[in-house]
């Protein structure tokens, strides 16, 4: 099928627009669906599959906080604005929970290269996520921060300019990708337990050497639980 024709499809156009507005790649969204990295690229560019499966559509709609109808599902029978819902609520009723969570974006960066100094941790804007999607992942918005990856030492897992969600409640040592503080420098690295109180600090890019650091000298800021990046 000619890709120039496919872009006319409103569902595919809407998916691309939503991804662009959130600065997340179609490959990352495919991973969110537990699909291979090219799944949504094939859907958008080649029309395969012809339409999104129900579970995939629901997951994407919850992630973006939109009606499933925007992604090819059946429209809701009625859609009420927050003001309409408030007006219709009986006296004394508790307000409906907010649909969105604004996760603060910290300007300091998390270096996947030489390191970023952790001297300015005031929020600089926010990324907005659906509460329902965060709950499905077991994440509490109050403990989350968004930071931008700098450098190439974690490629191909994380690329320069990717944005990651860091769960600051997960500070116990556990194998995985974390934001850590070493000598007042923030790093995003894969860490593993080493011998005799040491931590293995690992770069996924094989061009960078591994190192071992005393666990007592390493502060785990939080665990990386999500990533998004440009196409």
Q: For position 52, which CATH number holds?
A: 1.10.260
Res 190: pLDDT:
95
Q: What is the pLDDT of residues 105-140, one digit of tens each?
A: 875 555 455 444 444 445 557 788 888 888 888 899
Same domain assignment for residues 120 and 28:
no
The fraction of the chain above a pLDDT of 70, given in percent, is 77
Whether pLDDT at 95 is above 70: no
- pLDDT tens per residue, range 168-205: 888 888 889 999 888 778 889 999 988 888 999 999 99
pLDDT at site 110 = 55
- Position 118 scores a pLDDT of 46
How far apart, in whole angstroms, are the C-alpha atoms of residue 189 and residue 150? 12
Q: Of 17-26, 95-104, 113-122, which range is least confident?
A: 113-122
Which residues on neighbouring strands pair with residue 127, listed in sequence order? Answer: 103
The CATH number of the domain holding residue 121 is: 2.10.109.10
Confidence of residue 89 (pLDDT cuts 50, 70, 90): very low
Q: Give the pLDDT score at 216.
A: 87
Domain coverage including residue 63: 3-71
The answer to whether 123 touches 105, Cβ cutoff 8 Å, is yes
Question: Considering the domain boundaries, does residue 129 fall inside one?
Answer: yes
In sequence order, the 6+-apart residues with CB closer than 8 A to the CB of 153 are 112, 113, 189, 203, 204, 205, 207, 208
pLDDT score recorded for residue 10: 86
Question: What pLDDT does 117 receive?
Answer: 44
pLDDT on residue 155: 93
CB atoms within 10 A of CB 152: 17
Question: What does the buried/exposed string (b/e) look like for 35-50 if buried means 16 or more CB atoms within 10 Å of the residue's CB?
Answer: beeebbbebbbebeee
- If asked whether residues 117 and 205 sit together in one domain, one would say yes
């Amino acid at each position: 099928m000619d890709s120039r024709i496919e872009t006319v499809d409103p569902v595919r156009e809407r998916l691309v627009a939503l991804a662009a507005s959130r600065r997340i790649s179609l490959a990352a969204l495919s991973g969110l669906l537990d699909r291979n990295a090219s799944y949504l690229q094939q859907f958008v560019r080649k029309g395969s599959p012809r339409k999104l499966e129900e579970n995939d559509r629901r997951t994407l709609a919850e992630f973006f906080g939109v009606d499933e109808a925007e992604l090819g599902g059946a429209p809701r029978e009625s859609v009420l604005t927050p003001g309409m819902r408030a007006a219709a609520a009986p006296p004394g009723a508790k307000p409906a929970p907010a649909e969105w969570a604004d996760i603060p974006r910290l300007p300091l960066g998390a270096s996947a290269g030489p390191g970023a100094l952790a001297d300015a941790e005031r929020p600089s804007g926010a990324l907005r996520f659906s509460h329902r999607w965060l709950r499905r992942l077991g994440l509490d918005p109050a403990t989350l921060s968004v930071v931008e990856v700098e450098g190439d030492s974690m490629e191909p897992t994380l690329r320069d300019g990717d944005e990651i969600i860091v769960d600051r409640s997960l500070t116990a040592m556990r194998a995985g990708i974390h934001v850590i503080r070493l000598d007042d420098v923030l790093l995003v690295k894969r860490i593993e337990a080493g011998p005799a109180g040491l931590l293995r600090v690992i770069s996924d890019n094989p061009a960078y050497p591994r190192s071992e650091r005393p666990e007592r000298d390493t502060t785990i800021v939080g665990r990386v639980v999500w990533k998004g990046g440009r196409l």
